[in-house]
Amino acid sequence: MELTLYPSQIHGKVPIVTSKSQTIRALLIAAFSKGTSSIRRPLYSSDTRSAINLIQTLGAKVSKEEEVLSVTGFDTLPEEVVFDCGNSGTTMYLAAGMVASLPVKATFTGDSQLKSRPVLPLLEALKGHKVRVSCTKGGYPPFTIAGPIRSGEVDITCHTSQHLSALLLGCVMGKGQSVINVSLLNERPYVEMTLNWLKEQNIKLSYDEDMKKFIIPGNQHYSPFDSTIAGDFSSASFFFCAGAISDSPVTVSGLDRNDPQGDKEVLTILEKMGAIVKWNGDEVTVTSPQEGLHGGHFDLNAIPDALPVLAVTACYAKGTTVLGNVPQARIKETDRIESMKRNLMTLGAHIEDTEDSLIIHGQGHLDGGECRGYGDHRIIMAMAIASLRTSGPLTIDDIDAVDVTFPTFFTLFDSIRKEI
């Protein structure tokens, strides 16, 4: 499905959806707990539905009442199971690490995009923990694992943080102590999110400040919990940037300033570009500066999901912006560096790319036209934000893909914009 958007004024308050990453971690930990957990204000999207389907296939019981999901952990296990993770890389990676702790033969698969997501580093690390592994597509899904995880010491290069989070979540339930040596870690805040869940679960482990080495005693277990999911800074970043490029302020509500989500850094980047950011309780308001935004050099290694919308924002700034040190953006739902370069050049942007960065020479405007969504929710939402100030209408294809993390995006977007 395609959508044509027209240049618009934007003003108002957006109640933001809750976090996909937090919801999926909650679902998986609840499924591996002995008892019933309550997950309050979870995100309902195609990715979280994939996680719910997976834990139900494993034997967990899930029920919904108003804004609460009740999850009862599985009692018995199937000998063999196939998990269809849809488009959800978070579900696939994290569940693979946890299911590897079980004496179950499990095959993981998904849609065509998911089958392009690299899994070899995680599988090699699991093999180092005596997990049987089979993968016929050269390190890409589908793959099959059969646990349980046993004591071992492994080295891993984490181009995506999800590989390390998967090992941490699984090894705590392994048979014996695990040692994980990390030579490269991208997206550190997502590992901090996982560690926060383990801390809340009273899980014992140790690691150095640089997260280069983790020592994890095995034979631990997860316990039932009652938790409320925080608002999602990744989703909020689109509205932060809308406020930064518009003539009127935009307020986003439902955010926890102390939550360990990395995409809070988008607010700092916008301030460095000249935007005005003000917090008031769980609300944050972003306003464009009178003199307009200016470019800068920003390291996005910790927040790769912000690259598409920050690239759009940089086009409306003066001067050159470098969005760098983010090679993992090329292995998301699509190659986001290449896809954003193509889209923005189609709209008249002066933009270059390197192996790990986008370089945008801001001209303060973008043309109207047609662009592709590439089946990637974050590219689609970023291009919608671009439409606010294009010189003419902007048509975006494949917009249904926003359901992955933000099913209500266009409803909320329409609620605070008015066509010029």
Residues known to be catalytic: 305
| Residue among 22, 328, 409 nearest 159 (CA) | 328
User: Distances from the Cα of 310 to the Cαs of 121, 303, 333, 386, in angstroms?
Assistant: 29, 11, 18, 10
With beta carbons less than 8 A apart as the criterion, state whether 121 and 159 touch: yes
User: What does the block give as tokens for 237?
Assistant: 């970043």
Residues 405, 233: contact at Cβ < 8 Å? no
Which positions ≥6 away from 170 have C-beta within 8 Å?
96, 97, 98, 99, 100, 101, 126, 149
* Phi, psi (rounded to 5 degrees) for 363: -115, 0
Nearest Cα neighbor of 151 from 131, 123, 136, 133 is 131
CB atoms within 10 A of CB 397: 17
Instruction: Give yes or no for a cis peptide into 148 (omega within 30° of 0).
Output: yes
Q: Which residue type is seen at 123? A: L
Backbone angles phi, psi at 184, to 5 degrees: -145, 135
* 141 in Cβ contact with 92 (< 8 Å): yes
Dihedral (CA of 83, 89, 90, 95) sign: positive
